[in-house]
Amino acid sequence: MKAAPICAEMQRRADEFDVKIVHTGQHYDAAMSDSFFDDLGLPQPDFQLGIGSASHAVQTAKIMLAFEPVVLAEKPDWVVVVGDVNSTVACALVASKRGIKVAHVEAGLRSFDRSMPEEINRIVTDSISDLLFTTEESGNANLRSEGIALEKIKFVGNVMIDSLVQNLDRAKSSSILADLSLAPGSYAVLTLHRPSNVDTREKLEPLVDALIEISGKLPVIFPAHPRTRARIDEFGLRSRIAESNLRLIEPLAYLDFLLLYSESKFVMTDSGGLQEESTYLGIPCLTIRENTERPVTIEIGTNQLTGSDPTDLKKAAFELLDAPPLLETKAPPLWDGKTAARICDALTNH
């Protein structure tokens, strides 16, 4: 979702850019990778590294080993990395050590929680990048406080919103609401995948019980990440869920998921992207985490941190059920669907 608008903008500027797409294979599930290429109109990758799942150390090392030959053969002027996953830091390290400029899209975000692997990836990637593209003012402030040179920091806005704006009308052709027999505004959407929430029975079981109780008030649609689905089965929670209105479904393609959450009453999540997208759309969001690296979503008023305490999650959800719809909210600065163009301008000017 972050790469597609940038690639499209570079292809429109063929006299300025020759872009090659490298798919590391870190996200390898067909429903969570292949379908996104189709839905977003992203060309097939020029390089498919096929890394797959592994521990953080093994996965990062494998990506570095596979990416270095690509860099040596292609000799790029820039390597552009997005987000905060292991692919981001691995490819940035390879490029930096080879003397190739690195641009980091979505730089400067900080949860200030180093128990999150993504936080380590963000800090390391930012420290070795030559251009740092930020999404919100907190990112600018964080980078300044870490001593990053001001000329490297470029406030460009949120490229996730480019994808949302470009595809919202297209998503209306999705049949997902009819397929699930849902009416707009009559259900909530849940995503849950962070190890801190799903990897132990002590954490996941009480959360599932709370979500089942919430689903007694309105259906909760749960496109389950493969990691979460595996833990649900391992901990024997599947039958309990099946008897409730917590509706466990397969991961969805981008357009189906976009329509699903854009028509929901509220969303519950432990991811980052959904906090941003719901903020832009003015949909209430309950973030099942103790912190967020996207504080602007809290400031705007659409996002609320509940932590992973089931009692707090239920209380917040029940309050939303009784609350009137949010009045129209104002999108954060530069969340306007034109971020990819600003990124390309900055690369060219640099």
Interval 34-64: pLDDT, tens: 788 889 999 999 999 999 889 999 999 999 9
Residue 29: pLDDT band (50, 70, 90) is low
**Distance separating alpha carbons of residues 231 and 226, to the nearest angstrom:** 9
Q: Which of 23, 104, 193, 225 is catalytic?
A: 193
Q: How far apart are CA 30 and CA 22, in angstroms?
A: 17
Q: Which residue has the tokens 């509940």?
A: 306
325 — pLDDT class (breaks 50, 70, 90): confident
Hey, what CATH topology would domain 3-157+335-349 get?
A: Rossmann fold (3.40.50)
Query: Is 193 an annotated catalytic residue?
Result: yes
| DSSP codes joined into one string, 50-70 | ---S--HHHHHHHHHHHHHHH
pLDDT score for 329: 77
149 C-beta neighbours (distance < 10 Å), count: 10
> Dihedral of the CA atoms 100, 106, 107, 110 (nearest 10)?
-140
Q: What does pLDDT average to over the chain?
A: 95
Query: Domain coordinates of the chain in residue numbers?
Result: 3-157+335-349, 175-322
Domain 3-157+335-349 identical in fold to domain 175-322: yes
- The rounded distance, in Å, linking the Cα atoms of 25 and 33 is 9
CATH of domain 175-322: 3.40.50.2000
Strands 153-155, 266-269: pairing kind: unpaired
Tokens encoding 316 = 């917040």
**Bridge partners, residue 296, by sequence:** none
pLDDT of residue 239: 96
